[in-house]
Structure 1
Amino acid sequence: MHTEIPALMIIDMQKGMADASAGPRNNPDAEGNIAALLDAWRRADARVVHVRHISRTPGSPFWPGQPGVEFQERLAPLPGEHVVEKNVPDAFIHSGLERWLHARGITQLVIVGVSTNNSVEATARTAGNLGFHTQVVSDATFAFDKVDYSGTKRSADEVHAMSLANLEGEYAVITDTQRLLSI
């Protein structure tokens, strides 16, 4: 049994993700659940990592200098909380994140944020492959509607559920906010 408090990793909770133009999504309470977890981690003086996507596509809401690239206010980092900037879905790629975690002896991660089937899944897969004990919080992550490869429109709930199924057991343990807050 691991006794260390895992680092809380909050992925891409930027203003652009809260914009209606992002499309239909699931888990409307995800931001509240992330905020509750963030508050618990801060009260425990545990490690928090904020991940911010910086787009390489001009005109993207996540392009530097655009309002969408900024953190959502209630989830913004405090001084001393680590910020990782990425420009691909996986927060470990070209970011120094793995080195930062190892230098602090962190072996466990709790991942929240958006989107479940993109940055959350990519980061959780790498975390699991690198040997981190990883948990993904099902109700503190969310996805958007997406058309699958065969042309069938999938609801955000379907996309989210499939992504969690892809991760469960092999790369991460899937949990929920209440379970984490009751520990």
Structure 2
Amino acid sequence: MTLDLGRAVLLPIDMQAGFDEPRWPARWNRDLEDNGRALLALWRGKGLPIIHVRHDSAEAGSSFAPGTPGNRLRPGFEPLAGEPLVTKSVNSAFIGTDLDLRLRRLGADTVVAFGISTDMCVSTTVRMGANLGWKMVLVPDACDCFDLPDGQGGTIAARAVHDAHVATLAYEFCTVTTTAELLRLPALAGQPLPFK
């Protein structure tokens, strides 16, 4: 894989406690948190920029309403000092936020995305980022999603939902890699980008 991490921003998307509430269907990825934390540690260890994304829902009774326990980021996924947090109220992290502007001010050219859920906010953000001209990279083993109704009384397994969306994104919108592949990348080709 060819990726200059010196121009890549890590984008953890909606790593929030609300997804653990009983109202949500079953998920599939037991390695979600370990892989996500490994990516954060990699970026922090290299002094690379991270922009966190949190969903602040405007819907009544939402798991992600501001001020509720579900709105909080999961343990280990809170921003550290100097790491900005972008809040959104729709699926795409680019709509109604200054994410695109932040990336441009950094001089970045690549966005490495992971989070919850693969088929919703992660997919929408990756698609829109690609449409805006960013080199999008998806890390599927640091993503998760849910069993979904198939509209005919049955259920589509979460892993099948995930795999179908990753295949679509890889075909048209992004490069797909794994946490392990990112951890094995050689030293930076250039200097890390500081936040401005």
Q: Which runs of 5+ in 2 are unaligned?
A: 186-196
Partner of 1:70: 72
CA distance in 2, matches of 1:49, 1:57: 24
Partner of 1:181: 183
Per-residue deviation, 1:102: 0.6
**AA partner of residue 129 (structure 1):** N
Q: 1:151 to 1:83 in 2, by over 3 A?
A: same
Match of 1:157 among 129, 143, 159: 159
Partner of 1:170: 172
Partner of 1:13: 15
What SS is found at the alignment partner of 2:129? helix
* Range that drifts further, 3-12 or 31-40: 3-12
Per-residue deviation, 1:21: 3.4
What SS is found at the alignment partner of 1:75? coil
* Range that drifts further, 166-175 or 38-47: 166-175
What SS is found at the alignment partner of 1:168? helix
> Per-residue CA shift, 1:16-65, capped at 9, x if unaligned?
12334322011111111000110110010101011000111111111111
Partner of 1:82: 84
Match of 1:33 among 27, 32, 35: 35
RMSD: 1.4
Partner of 1:121: 123
**AA partner of residue 100 (structure 1):** R
**AA partner of residue 90 (structure 2):** V
* Range that drifts further, 39-48 or 56-65: 56-65
CA distance in 1, matches of 2:58, 2:183: 37
CA distance in 2, matches of 1:5, 1:34: 19
Q: TM-score by structure 1 length?
A: 0.95
CA distance in 2, matches of 1:169, 1:103: 29
Match of 1:107 among 106, 109, 115: 109
Quick one: percent identity of the two aligned structures? 37
**AA partner of residue 109 (structure 1):** V
What SS is found at the alignment partner of 1:135? strand
Partner of 1:56: 58
Work out whether 1:138 is the aligned partner of 2:130: no
**AA partner of residue 162 (structure 2):** H
* Range that drifts further, 6-15 or 151-160: 151-160
Per-residue deviation, 1:160: 0.3
Partner of 2:99: 97
| Contact preservation (8 Å) 2:7, 2:109 | no
CA distance in 1, matches of 2:64, 2:90: 12
CA distance in 1, matches of 2:128, 2:153: 28
| Contact preservation (8 Å) 2:117, 2:143 | yes
Q: Which runs of 5+ in 1 are unaligned?
A: none
Give the structure, 1 or 2, with the largest relative contact order (CA under 8 Å, sep 6 or more). 2
What SS is found at the alignment partner of 1:73? coil
Partner of 1:46: 48
> Per-residue CA shift, 1:156-181, capped at 9, x if unaligned?
00110011011013110111110111
